Amino acid sequence: MAEISTIARPYAVAAYQLAKEHKALAKWSEMLAFATAVSNDAQMQAYVQDPKVVSSQLQTSFLAICGDRLNEQGQNLIKVLVEYNRMSILPAIADAFEELKAQDEGVLDAQIIAAAKPSAAEIKDLVKRLEAKFGKKVEAVISVDAELIGGVKIIVGDTVIDASVKGQLQNLAYALSA
């Protein structure tokens, strides 16, 4: 997985810089999302992986399917990916692009895992506290994991805040065994 993101990142950075230069971040987000949806289609994946299909056929077919949903620069990205046999990393490029966009806009993605479904007020309060802590706007994705027993576990980038009963019990067990 790390290898794919390592390969995809330079493409995403180049696309991001180009989009920012032309003040077209939203357009690029749309283009990459659409191209990713096309590349994730089962028939398209089979076509991309078919050894009988030469790169010129793949390029023509992919661009024909995308039609006017890709501007000239988006089409050039697809041409480069096809030429270097890198169509499989298109979803990773789109993800990295969105991460760069979110960082630039000052938005952090937070994954909040709770033992029980929190109320809207609890979520709002937690997001407000996270925004104060990190100094950026936070977009939260909420999930429920009953194995936590109680409390929450929050993941923001590389930061993990484990305020779950399960996490506290694991810390206690570790402290007692030392």
Q: What is the DSSP string of 87-106?
A: GGGHHHHHHHHHHHHHHHHT
More confident residue, 108 or 1: 108
pLDDT for 1 beyond 80: no
Q: How far apart are CA 112 and CA 127, in angstroms?
A: 9
Q: How many CB atoms lie within 10 A of CB 32?
A: 24
* Structural domains of the chain, ranges and CATH numbers in brackets: 2-102 (1.10.520.20), 107-177 (3.40.30)
Q: For residue range 87-117, list pLDDT tens digits in order.
A: 999 999 999 999 899 888 888 889 999 999 9
pTM: 0.66
pLDDT band at 135 (very low <50, low <70, confident <90, very high): confident
What pLDDT shows up at residue 123?
Answer: 94
Q: For residue range 41-92, list pLDDT tens digits in order.
A: 999 999 988 899 999 999 999 999 999 999 999 999 999 999 999 999 999 9
| Phi/psi of residue 140, nearest 5 degrees | -105, 140
